[in-house]
Amino acid sequence: MDIVTLQAARAAAKRDGDAAYLRNEQLNDVNSSARVFFDSTYAPVGDVAYLKTNAVVTIFHGANAATSRPIGAPRVLWIGSVTPNNILAGDLYAPSTTTPAVPAWTPASLTNLGAWYDPSSLSALASGASVTSWADKSSNARNLSNSGTAPTYSPTAYANNPAINFDGSTTGYMVTPAFTTTGTSSVSMWCNFTVTDASAIRTLLSAGDSTSAFSVVTRTSGAGIAVYRGSATAISLNSPLSVNTPYSLGVVVIGTALTVYLNGTSIGTGTVTNVDMTTLRIGRRADGSSRHWGLIGDVFWKTGDPSSDEITKVNAYLAARRGA
């Protein structure tokens, strides 16, 4: 938990913009330890960051004296380099030129997160070590285990970020235990990847059983990205991929509407029904064919319709991970 201490404000913080210094008792009235804690309600609002504590609403207004005061806030602690214009009687002001760090967005913030596999969590492994398990960073504990010859770990191969290397032949795949979200009307899946093969179909992600699996595949000639529901093609996009190039892929299903994103841009739409998120496989289809050849980085998915804000943040997160 991030902590902003207010010890320096004991001698300099003003109240109501006048010359009265903030007494220790007033600081202790804000928080018994004279500190402000970031909690889960912390959120950026333009150039303003604010959070709620039990005692006050704390605003980091920086050099923006015109920052708005939150409607209905009983008491506000202002922290910035200029006296705020909208300070009211009873509010506190602590001069500071230090800008608090905004917590970085991660897939953990997605609503209805189904699972998140972060290759950074494998950092204890040596380069080239076998990846026999991959922990789910969501609260669902849908951990992946290896089946067949294990893929290997690379700490820097994916745009200087970690990833798992699949060799397309002897390498097995990663698979979750069975779980229940059968017939999901809305589901979104994202991953970072590269392809090494120049022609054959390769499976990135596959969900469900072998007869009705929802599969996302790649190839570098013809259809660059294709999505299948069982043996039926939901969408096939003529967007050839370059070998050994970092890509970000998103497959978003809302109702029956399917949208495919490549590097944050929508590249096509289609139709698909009843995505069976009952078992997730990474690097191979459920029937054992079309194994992936290349790297796979972050993988995560969620149920329910993603908001436009979530899609924007997902694409930005994946872009940063692929070095864009």
Q: What's the mean pLDDT when you consider all of the chain?
A: 78
For residue 21, what is the DSSP state? Answer: B
Contact at 8 Å (CB) between 223 and 270? no
49 pLDDT more than 70: no
- CATH 2.60.120.200 range(s) for the chain read 107-321
Determine which of 21-30, 110-119, 300-309 has the lowest per-residue pLDDT on average: 21-30
Return the closest-CA partner of residue 217 out of 318, 268, 285, 272: 285
Decide which of 29 and 50 is more confident.
50
User: What pLDDT, on the 0 to 100 scale, is given for residue 269?
Assistant: 93
User: What pLDDT, on the 0 to 100 scale, is given for residue 98?
Assistant: 72
Decide which of 170 and 33 is more confident.
170
Given pLDDT bands bounded at 50, 70 and 90, which one contains residue 213?
confident
Q: How many CA atoms lie within 13 A of 136 on its CB side?
A: 20
Residues 38, 67: Cα–Cα separation, whole Å:
20
251 pLDDT more than 80: yes
Contact at 8 Å (CB) between 266 and 248? no
DSSP symbols for 9-76: HHHH-BSTTSSPBPPHHHHHHH-TTSEEE--TT-EEETTEEEEE-SS-EEEEEET-TTPPPPTT-S-E
Given pLDDT bands bounded at 50, 70 and 90, which one contains residue 181?
low
User: What pLDDT, on the 0 to 100 scale, is given for residue 26?
Assistant: 34
CA 164 vs CA 67, 126, 244, 282: distances in Å:
46, 12, 13, 10
DSSP symbols for 123-164: TTSPTT-B--EE---STT---EEEESBPPEEEEEEETTEEEE
User: What pLDDT, on the 0 to 100 scale, is given for residue 134?
Assistant: 96
Torsion sign, CA atoms 12, 18, 20, 22: negative
29 pLDDT more than 90: no
> Which helix (H) or strand (E) is 44 found in, with range?
strand 43-45
Q: Give tens-digit pLDDT for 55-98.
A: 578 888 888 899 888 887 888 888 888 999 999 988 989 888 77
Residues pairing with 92 in the sheet: 77
The predicted model gives 198-221 an average pLDDT of: 80
Residues 49, 123: Cα–Cα separation, whole Å:
32
Determine which of 71-75, 148-152, 165-169, 268-272 has the lowest per-residue pLDDT on average: 71-75
User: What pLDDT, on the 0 to 100 scale, is given for residue 73?
Assistant: 80
The pair phi, psi for residue 4, each rounded to 5°, is -110, 115
144 pLDDT more than 90: yes
Residues 216, 233: Cα–Cα separation, whole Å:
10
The predicted model gives 140-162 an average pLDDT of: 92
Architecture per CATH, domain 107-321, reads as Sandwich (2.60)
